[in-house]
Amino acid sequence: MFFPTALRPRYAKWLIATGLFLMLGGCVDKPNTLERVKEDGVLRVITRNSPATYFQDRSGETGFEYELVKRFADDLGVELKIETADNLDDLFNQVGKPNGPVLAAAGLVSSDERKKQVRFSHSYLEVTPQIIYRNGQSRPTDPADLVGKKITVLKGSTHAEQLAELKQKFPGIEYEESDAVEVVDLLRMVDEGQIDLTLVDSNEVAMNQVYFTNIRVAFDLGDARSQSWAVGPGEDNSLLSEINAYLDKVQKNGTLQRLKDRYYGHVDVLGYMGATTFAQHLQQRLPKYEQHFKNYAKKEKVDWRLLAAIGYQESLWQPTVTSKTGVRGLMMLTQNTAQAMGVSNRLDPKQSIMGGAKYLAYMKDQLDDSIKEPDRTWFALAAYNVGSGHLDDARKLTAKEGLNPDKWLDVKKILPRLSQKQWYSKTRYGYARGGEPVHFVANIRRYYDILTWVTQPQLEGDQVAEGNLHVPGIDKSKPAQEPAPL
């Protein structure tokens, strides 16, 4: 193209200006991590599948870390997406990777080695490393007593780092690091005498001691340490600053303390009561609710004594109980279950019993036709406690072991495996306190037997094994927002 000589300098300047403008337009800053999370509408978090961090029960997703990080996602106005790591090394390798989780919330304690991989938030929980031994064995009282003991800890944990430091002073200390287990496995191994000792944090001991009656704390190994969340390395502090502001806020407004009290502050009051106490409650409490049990059991075609036994196991026949996991009322219904069963007030004993009867009938009706009575009743009770998803996982594991997935005697042998990493890692729904439904069913059967005996000859309704149940009307609308204290 031809331009007059006088116009060429002006055209050249125009080209240069246009080029600079285009170059500057291409240098728009990329969004930081926090901006990207909000734009995507998703907070991706990696954690551990364990009772102190994240797992699923009949209430849905739960766990101390889950609840804390779910509130953070809600504050950001985004959806929470949880991923679970196979082990601690995998967790630290994944956090901060492109298109990967931006945050690790897994009960992590900072160390010099870990600070090379990630950056840690403000602290939200103080924990103390504790040496755990089996009751009846010689109690260690100081690090020198660890020599000659069979010790196992989590691979990649700060506990392994502690033992490595101790070994320099006491060369006779030997220990194994395993990435095939979780803390709950270590406590079980001590409880059963498979290993002599383990080293875990005090919060994990507090949460699980009620399930492992033989474990004891030998001594604290060192001072209390802080648990924190972790984000990936780099200089982008946008998400970390937001996390710190959130943790400071929940510390100040009491939310954090309520979560601590709920998960770690007390032993579950609904323990397994002896026959003597049960007999006392038969006289003092059952008469208030007996007619409700009979009426709704008859309506749903279940045995009223079985329904009453569930109510006792769940709440000791106390209508205003709220558990640490937020289930409420005499039959301890979750909010979603209550809504589905047409219960508007879980603390109303009449409504609660009605909901429990409908839910038991529903659980029983959902079972495979291949499960016959009386096993069908025991399976329904197990599903009532742990959820049908975890029960299906246990049945599949039972079949793989060459046992009968339709027989309670076989499945109850396998259910406790759902709390062992080597097994739950192969299932769809992951970790569950698999021993709980076994105890749940056993206790209800015991209470049912006593109720059957004391109510003779006034038998009413069908026997457990003879009920032909229907599916109760299910309300699939969104549950109403009922306040449930932490």
Catalytically active residues are 314
Q: 264, 56 in Cβ contact below 8 A?
A: no
Number of CB atoms found within 10 A of residue 80's CB: 17
CA–CA distance, 182 with 421 (Å, rounded to integer): 6
Closest CA to 347 of 374, 361, 326: 326
Q: Kindly report the CA angle at 454 between 453 and 456, in degrees rounded to 5?
A: 70
Number of CB atoms found within 10 A of residue 8's CB: 10
Q: 35, 94 in Cβ contact below 8 A?
A: no
Buried b (16+ CB within 10 A) or exposed e, 145-178: bbeebebbbbebbbbbbbbeebbeeeeebebeeb
Q: Kindly report the CA angle at 4 between 2 and 5, in degrees rounded to 5?
A: 115
Query: Which residue's entry shows tokens 């197990």?
Result: 382
Q: 182, 49 in Cβ contact below 8 A?
A: yes
CA 50 to chain centre: 6
CA–CA distance, 302 with 467 (Å, rounded to integer): 6
Closest CA to 199 of 177, 228, 170: 177
CA–CA distance, 440 with 445 (Å, rounded to integer): 9
CA–CA distance, 178 with 422 (Å, rounded to integer): 11
Instruction: Give Cβ neighbours of residue 124 (< 8 Å, ≥ 6 apart).
Output: 68, 227, 228, 229, 247, 250, 251, 256
DSSP string, 88-133: HHHHHHHTT-TTS-SEEEEEEE--TTGGGT-EEEEEEEEE-EEEEE
Report the DSSP beta bridge partners of residue 304.
Answer: none
